[in-house]
Amino acid sequence: MRADVRYGIDDSPVFVIDQSRCIGCEACVQACMECGTHRGQSLIHLERIDRAATTQTAPMVCMHCEDPTCAQVCPADAIKQTEGGIVQSALKPRCIGCSNCVLACPFGVPKYMAEIDQMMKCDMCTDRTSEGLKPMCASVCPSEALWYGTIDEVRENRTGSLLRDFMFGRQEVRTKVYTVVDDLAAGPIDVMRGQAASWLDDPFELESGGT
């Protein structure tokens, strides 16, 4: 995929995150710093899932919830959503640095920056996506764990089905960003339940004694 593709409004590109594809190269972490709306600050998370057991990593960008918990729990009413569904970083004049959003976000996305007493989060590279460009992270991800393109391109180039519904306990959350599943019929991703770890660190089960 070319990084300099420019999409038009009618293309309706979508952001897709597939954590299972992450190879931990950290290109996204570096690229995130180049985002014009928060230059020098990397706001993407690259999580080491279980450091003792595996090298597996997983990225996390803002999923841009349709009804964002972060915005609802913000006492300063500082988190706004654009008409296109992008949940923006806290408005700087308003954010009073309480960290409610950091603690309430079901995806663990907002970051509290103690130095400037502000919350900051991914805004899907508004400077780029508003001009039809791919977000920085999606433009550099070599394994397409972070991906941006049209639905037609999804069909042509990717496997799996797109899903944007999640369950956190009894709370269902629908997001603007899609994830990938094989079994769409199984419904939303149940985050508190689906805990089966399947690492590729030992693909032939040599260390675990397999034959």
Q: Specify the DSSP element, H or E, that contains 177.
A: strand 171-181
User: Does the protein bind another protein through residue 49 (CB under 8 A)?
Assistant: yes
The encoded tokens of residue 6 equal: 């420019």
| Positions in 1-40 near another protein (CB under 8 A) | 18-22, 35-39
User: Does the protein bind another protein through residue 200 (CB under 8 A)?
Assistant: yes
Angle at 22 between CA 79 and CA 173, to 5 degrees: 35
For another protein, give the closer residue by CB, 29 or 104: 104
Using alpha carbons, list the distances in angstroms from residue 60 to 109, 116, 121, 145, 207. 7, 23, 11, 10, 30
User: Does the protein bind another protein through residue 43 (CB under 8 A)?
Assistant: no
- Taking a C-beta distance cutoff of 8 angstroms, is the pair 33, 41 a contact? yes
Cβ atoms within 10 Å, residue 70: 24
User: Does the protein bind another protein through residue 107 (CB under 8 A)?
Assistant: yes
User: Does the protein bind another protein through residue 208 (CB under 8 A)?
Assistant: no
| Positions in 121-140 near another protein (CB under 8 A) | 123, 126-127, 130
Q: Which of 4, 10, 156, 182 binds another protein (CB under 8 A)?
A: 182
**Shortest gap between Cβ of 17 and another protein (angstroms)?**
8
